[in-house]
Amino acid sequence: MLDARWWQRGIVYQIYPRSFMDSNGDGIGDLRGIRSRLPYLAWLGVDAIWISPIYTSPMADFGYDVSDYRGIDPRFGTLDDFDALVRDAHGLGLKIILDFVPNHTSDQHPWFLESRASRESAKRGWYIWRDPAPGGGPPTNWLSEFGGPAWEWDAATGQYYYHAYLKEQPDLDWRNPEVRDAMLSVMRFWLDRGVDGFRVDTIHHLIKDSELRDNPPNPRFRPGMPPHRELLRLYTTDRPEVHEAVAAMRRVLDDYDDRVLIGEAYLPFDRLMAYYGQDLSGMHLPFNFHLIGAPWDARAIAEIVREYEAALPEGAWPNWVLGNHDKPRIKSRVGAAQARVAAMLLLTLRGTPTLYYGDEIGMCDVPIAPGEVQDPFEKNVPGLGVGRDPERTPMQWGGGAGCGFTTGRPWLPLAPDADRNNVEALRGDPGSILSLYRALIALRRAEPALAVGAYAPLAAGEGVLAYAREHAGRRLLVLLNLSSHPRRLALAAGAGGARVLLSTGLDRAGERVDEAAELRPDEGLIAEAQGAPG
């Protein structure tokens, strides 16, 4: 599979633009800041950067409430800044993937302002407006993902509008062909400017039940869970008609050379697979988030990999995610030692890996004082620990007051250890986690077996996850000790031993492994098999 597409062989690096690099001292990251750090990303070795929303927005949900899909928010820069970013990125061999937010707009978008002006508005049908229930009140029991009812009363026109998230984020009606045409035109606008693909936000929310049936209660709901989980989202997400919309998006991308369509959908494997589309005419990569919530246990992870590989449609390309802007950071979930093992896991499984900014330097979740909370989810349902600010804090570039991120006051607080745990300090340390990430990425680039090779699980004892990657007769073994105890892993009889190519400690390259591999606590190894596959 040496002719694999760039998005199959490559590594995607997610940038949360408010937090990556501030060029003007206002405490908020921007496009010029990202542009200034492109040489670092090229040095790291990633292939593509996915940038969370940068469109014009009132920022009720930090860019996921779009008021102009063809504009750049002034906080981030201008269209000229964006064009310069694309040009420089492409000059360095980096691809640009934009976030696309098709499910909802801002309530300040001209489309919605016109829609709510009157029931007779030409754009009334662009959003989901409904009369009250027969006895009064919201038309259904549907709940907002961010807490409270998902229907907002509009006194001026005497109807409710639906919003899956904030009331400032009214949902578009994708059953309306005018809406679909307008949004597909937005995609073409950015593709014509040179973007290499889209990550499509919350794709499974795009179509709602045409009969407006109530969602059933969730029998697993318990106090302390986010309130929207009180109901099963049977009639508000993952409706069968969504796949027609996904296929329409894919047809747009297919009119351009070598672009990628990635979809966000938190779904079980059996339902996620449908987003590849009939005959693979849907998403190139429906995001696979299952490692994010998995127990950090070798047996559990091995089962997830097995189930996922078995579920993939023929010819579909896998992908893996360990962190993003909505979930706690991997180091905070598994600890510093296992964060290195997690890096080796992410970059050696079969499929496209997505790396969240800062994970390569071991950033942790940062405690946010009540008076500093920015996330609307946390503000709407305080006390449940749903806030996403801790994993969105500024990138740690160097020492000093702003740690190289800003000369002003950062929009979220910096980590307490940012002055010593940063790119500048770790880049010069040959044993750092940053050095490990760079070595893993370089090895993945050098070894087709890691980039596009077949995957095969290997028998392993308690606490150890082991598998082989093979391509064109070259076989690599990945041995991961997910425990804090030393482990011994016997190699298959007749395998002829192995030679270590890389260890998470960056200190065992070239070491010979014969009958058994001795794994230190919290250690991973990648070894070159010397004999016939066992």
> Which residue, among 356, 380, 265, 292, has the nearest Cα to 52 in the 3D structure?
356
Q: Is the Cβ–Cβ distance between 160 and 154 less than 8 Å?
A: yes
Residue for token pair 């997400």 = 237
528 in active site: no
> Which residue, among 206, 204, 162, has the nearest Cα to 184 in the 3D structure?
206
Please pick, among 30, 81, 201, 375, the residue that the annotation labels catalytic.
Answer: 201
201 in active site: yes
Q: Is the Cβ–Cβ distance between 145 and 104 less than 8 Å?
A: no
How many residues comprise the chain?
534
CA separation for the pair 398, 419 (Å, rounded): 7
Residue for token pair 């026109």 = 157
DSSP H or E segment with residue 481? strand 474-481
Q: Is the Cβ–Cβ distance between 173 and 127 less than 8 Å?
A: yes
Strands 55-56 and 48-51: unpaired
Backbone angles phi, psi at 238, to 5 degrees: 55, 40
Please pick, among 145, 173, 264, 391, the residue that the annotation labels catalytic.
Answer: 264
Residue 180's Cβ-side half-sphere holds a number of Cα atoms within 13 Å equal to 18
Strands 516-519 and 524-529: unpaired
Radius of gyration of the chain from Cα atoms? 24
Cite the active site residues.
Answer: 201, 264
